[in-house]
């Protein structure tokens, strides 16, 4: 019976299959970066009842605690952070694929267009690159797609409470959540006008948005009290608005050719020059196609059909968030408009392209050309995705690789007693290999201890972003080309003497 029901719902089978690439890509352990370690540390800290404290034991303000909450729940269920986040990413992928199918069905596209669109999402190397890392984007994209499904249809009033909850969750997973919630709230109001009238429709959506900002406001006030900033100190990128626009163009091109710039190692200093000529050309082409199809689509559609609503909603989210991101880069935060930053508009753009192309392909010839191009792009993406998932699964990613875990100095530190207190000039990197919490840096030696300890050790790395402040006078108990492990005596002795 269960098998029969599944065959009646092929989108469920496709969604389940879409979970496999990230599971395969994470089979050696989920990828870890600097922010991943803080997400995990905060989750373990909350699970122990100590509050949202990062790797070094400092209250987290630079990132929200939403992803960390999954780690907390996993810890309560005796799941490791690694396995918890693997499952979160896999389930998020299922949700995204299901929502994509739901929206394309509602847009009444042809069956070929429907499944090509679903395939472009399910077999996306761009999404795989994100879903094989311990990042906040996977659950954020799932929440966003659920909200998009709800906001683009007429609703009874209890669904406004669901939207309010989703809008709140978007903020607590990523601080940019309100800049997706605001355009979605407008979409939800406009869709509801025909059924509820203008005043009531806007009142309901406005109330949902306002309610969703209560808990975020309290969190922002907490951050300001702790750090003096609403979301932590951030350095603006400066320059002109053209700089992030060009980076976004390169990102669109990298999505089309299914390759990240600089092999995915761009970081916060990624700029236009870092994209290949193919990516730049593909990005310009993407803009031309997107703008051309959108203008033609709305000129040829005079009604407010579901397909018009869905295309308009996806485009509005893209325009609103992209405009905010361009402004933010120049005046607020030096975060390049790369795949991570722009990931929230990835699936909406695919939906726009699929729906508009399906509408354009009224003649047999145009339809055949469109399908042929879509099949070529889909085949290239699928081949790349399969190759990447196997490669990621064999070696792991960034600090999540087996090599990083088994570096001798990391192994030595991991084998120290659980009652040991650790210090390091690279606490995030060491945490990724040991999951020992907290790991204080050299400038925190005088701060009160957060957990009981018997003995202290400093893991000093020769290559570090914090090259100064090495302790003096301790006993070196391990040394190699990477660095040293220094015994700093018992925890009930004066630690200040090692920093005279």
Q: Tens digits of per-residue pLDDT, 393-445?
A: 998 899 999 899 999 999 999 999 989 999 999 999 999 999 999 999 999 99
State yes or no: pLDDT of 238 exceeds 70. yes
Q: Which residues pair with 424 in a beta bridge?
A: 459
Q: What token pair was written down for 316?
A: 């509005």
Q: What is the pLDDT of residue 44?
A: 95
User: Please, are residues 407 and 420 in contact by the beta-carbon 8 Å criterion?
Assistant: no
Task: For the chain, give the mean pLDDT.
Answer: 93
Vertex 55: Cα angle to 52 and 59 (nearest 5) = 35
d(CA 275, CA 291): 22
Query: What are the tens digits of pLDDT across the range 250-282?
Result: 999 999 999 999 888 777 788 899 999 999 999
When computed from its CA atoms, the radius of gyration of the chain, rounded to whole angstroms, is: 24
Report the percent of the chain where pLDDT is more than 90: 82
Give the pLDDT confidence of 118-145 residue by residue, as tens digits.
999 999 999 999 999 999 999 999 999 9
| Tokens found for residue 208 | 């949902």
pTM over 0.85: yes
pLDDT at 381 over 70: yes
The predicted pLDDT at position 244 comes to 94
Distance CA 205, CA 183 (A): 11
Residue 9 is predicted with a pLDDT of 82
Q: Point out the least confidently predicted range of 162-176, 218-232, 368-382, 480-494.
A: 368-382
Q: Model confidence over 278-322: pLDDT tens digits?
A: 999 999 999 999 999 999 999 888 778 899 999 999 999 999 999
Pair 405, 433: CB distance under 8 Å: yes
- What integer pLDDT is reported at residue 211 of this predicted model? 97
The upper half-sphere exposure of residue 70, i.e. CA atoms within 13 Å in the direction of its Cβ, equals 26
Confidence class of residue 1 from pLDDT cuts 50, 70 and 90?
very low
- Distance (Å, rounded) from C-alpha 13 to C-alpha 233? 45
CA–CA separation, 82 and 40 (whole Å): 9
Residue of 163, 93, 140, 112 whose CA lies nearest to 367: 112
Q: Residue 365: its pLDDT value, please?
A: 75
pLDDT for position 367: 76
């Amino acid at each position: 019976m269960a098998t029969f029901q599944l065959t009646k719902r092929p989108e469920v089978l496709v969604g389940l299959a879409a979970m496999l690439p990230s599971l395969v890509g994470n089979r050696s352990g989920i990828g870890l970066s600097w922010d991943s370690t803080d997400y995990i540390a905060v989750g373990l800290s909350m699970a122990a009842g100590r509050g949202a404290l990062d790797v070094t034991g400092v209250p987290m303000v630079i990132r929200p605690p939403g992803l960390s909450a999954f780690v907390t729940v996993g810890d309560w269920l005796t799941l490791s952070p690694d396995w918890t986040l693997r499952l979160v990413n896999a389930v998020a992928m299922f949700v995204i694929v299901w929502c994509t199918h739901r929206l394309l069905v509602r847009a009444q596209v042809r069956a070929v267009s429907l499944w090509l669109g679903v395939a472009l999402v399910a077999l996306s190397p761009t999404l795989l690159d994100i879903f094989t890392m311990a990042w906040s984007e996977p659950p954020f994209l799932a929440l966003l797609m659920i909200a998009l499904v709800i906001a683009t249809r007429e609703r009874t009033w209890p669904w406004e409470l669901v939207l309010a909850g989703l809008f709140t969750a978007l903020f607590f997973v990523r601080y940019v959540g309100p800049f997706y919630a605001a355009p979605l709230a407008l979409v939800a109001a406009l869709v509801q006008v025909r059924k509820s009238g203008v005043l009531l429709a806007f009142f309901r959506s406005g109330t949902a948005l306002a309610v969703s900002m209560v808990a975020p406001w309290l969190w922002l006030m907490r951050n300001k009290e702790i750090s003096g900033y609403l979301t932590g100190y951030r350095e603006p990128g400066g320059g002109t608005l053209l700089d992030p626009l060009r980076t976004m163009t390169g990102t669109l091109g990298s999505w089309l050719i299914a390759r990240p710039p600089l092999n995915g190692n761009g970081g916060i200093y990624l700029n236009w020059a870092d994209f290949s000529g193919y990516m730049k050309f593909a990005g310009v082409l993407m803009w031309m196609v997107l703008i051309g199809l959108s203008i033609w689509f709305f000129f040829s559609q005079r009604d407010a059909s579901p397909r018009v609503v869905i295309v308009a909603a996806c485009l509005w989210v893209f325009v609103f968030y992209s405009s905010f991101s361009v402004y933010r880069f120049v005046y607020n935060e030096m975060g390049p408009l790369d795949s991570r930053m722009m990931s929230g508009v990835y699936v909406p753009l695919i939906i726009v392209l699929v729906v508009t192309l399906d509408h354009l392909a009224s003649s047999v010839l145009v339809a055949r050309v469109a399908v042929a191009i879509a099949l070529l792009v889909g085949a290239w993406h699928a081949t790349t995705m399969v190759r990447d998932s196997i490669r990621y699964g064999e070696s792991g990613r960034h600090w999540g690789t087996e090599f990083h875990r088994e570096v001798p100095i990391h192994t030595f530190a991991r084998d120290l007693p659980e009652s040991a207190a650790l210090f390091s000039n690279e606490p995030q990197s060491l945490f990724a290999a040991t999951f020992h919490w907290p790991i204080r840096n050299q400038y925190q030696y005088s701060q009160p201890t957060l957990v009981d300890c018997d003995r202290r050790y400093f893991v000093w790395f020769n290559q570090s972003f914090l090259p100064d402040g090495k302790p003096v006078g301790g006993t070196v108990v391990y040394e190699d080309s990477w660095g040293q492990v220094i015994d700093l005596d018992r925890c009930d002795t004066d630690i200040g003497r090692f920093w005279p």
